[in-house]
Amino acid sequence: MLDGCGRDIRYVRISVTDLCNLGCVYCKPRPVPKLTHDDVMSVDEIIALANDFVNAGFTKIRLTGGEPLVRKGIIPIVKGVCSVTDNVGLTTNGILLSEFAEELKAAGLKGVNVSLDTLDPEAYRKITGGGKLSEVFKGIDAAKAAELKIKLNAVLQRGINFDPLPLLEYAEKTGAELRMIELMPFASTLGYVDERALNAENWLRSLGAEHILDEGKTSLYRYRGHELKVIAPLSRNFCAECDRIRVTCTGMLLPCLHGAKAYPVRDKIGSAGFADYLGSVLKLKPPAHGIGEGIYQNMDMGSIGG
Ligand code: SAM
């Protein structure tokens, strides 16, 4: 489906809950108003919404949160969404993955993205507000045993993962693909961003990493004999190629992760007018984020669904 800038939008990230079992310092640093049960889309609504997107021409769906594995009914959700398209992903912090890996695979999921910024238990505990790294390792082992394809996402942070070698070696040992992601500023996390953010291009230069190619939002480098994938929405802005939108767990559609405007979609689920409505909202997708001009998202990443 084309947006107002002629971009072909075919990828939606659906948040299944705003709840999370971690409290990452750059993600959801302040308490947000608690949602009631009825505020959040039901299992059936999420599956029907996924079906609507596929019927409207979308080809990729990612389930996210909050933490999707704390959502009651996550297995029926995954099963239902996988029954409408085979290109389904799930992003998780991995804490509960050892419990769910086999069931996720049996429900039809082919792969998981696991967020992992560091291999240092103490640094992990600090970033995540008390998370236990050993549980993530257990989860990754279980995902591997269940034959789920694994991608590791590490948010680039000064003093945490400046040298990506340990993460690259761990990824290689695990058979996973590592992507380093530039830390993005949100209105509520500017203090942490000031302290820890690294400009990815400068960082790669100081590492002496060799640039191989840019492919969509991902840039490929070679670093100390390893392939290093980098996603740098700030230093290599890829808004012109953006193909995605997001829906929060309350059913609000955000055409841009950093945009101020969200549009209700919950009341359109299963309706004949869904595709037309979606088309009209996509026309309003901003051409680019305004972070460079100091325009920051007021919602938290965890509430939007990263
Ligand atoms: N709970 C799941 C998880 O941890 O993967 C899914 C939701 S989380 C919001 C999705 C991803 O967003 C995680 O990989 C997290 O590291 C990333 N993220 C959160 N805040 C971010 C920020 N300010 N900049 C870059 N990535 C961020």
The residue whose CA is least distant from atom 12 of ligand 1 is 306
State the Cα–Cα distance between residues 302 and 262, nearest whole angstrom. 15
Q: Do 160 and 134 form a contact (C-beta atoms < 8 A)?
A: no
Q: What share of the chain is helix, strand, coil (3-state, %, to 5)?
A: 35, 20, 45
Q: Which domains does the chain have, with CATH numbers?
A: 11-304 (3.20.20.70)
- The CA dihedral of 229, 139, 41, 246, to the nearest 10 degrees, is 0
Most informative mutation of 128, 182, 301, 303 for ligand 1 (most atoms within 8 A of CB): 301
The residue whose CA is least distant from atom 4 of ligand 1 is 93
- pLDDT tens for the chain, 306 residues long, are 999 999 999 999 999 999 999 999 999 777 777 899 999 999 999 999 999 999 999 999 999 999 999 999 999 999 999 999 999 999 999 999 999 999 999 999 999 999 999 999 999 999 999 999 999 999 999 999 999 999 999 999 999 999 999 999 999 999 999 999 999 999 999 999 999 999 999 999 999 999 999 998 999 999 999 999 999 999 999 999 999 999 999 999 999 999 999 999 999 999 999 999 999 999 999 999 989 888 899 988 888 887
Query: Which of 228, 270, 190 has the alpha carbon at shortest distance from 26?
Result: 190
CB hemisphere CA count around 82 (13 angstroms): 17
Q: Do 271 and 251 form a contact (C-beta atoms < 8 A)?
A: no
Name the pTM for this structure.
Answer: 0.97
> Position 150: which residue type?
I
For residue 67, give the ligand 1 atom closest to its CA.
Answer: 1
What ranges in 232-306 are assigned the alpha helix state H? 274-282, 301-304
Query: Which of 237, 231, 249 has the alpha carbon at shortest distance from 286?
Result: 237
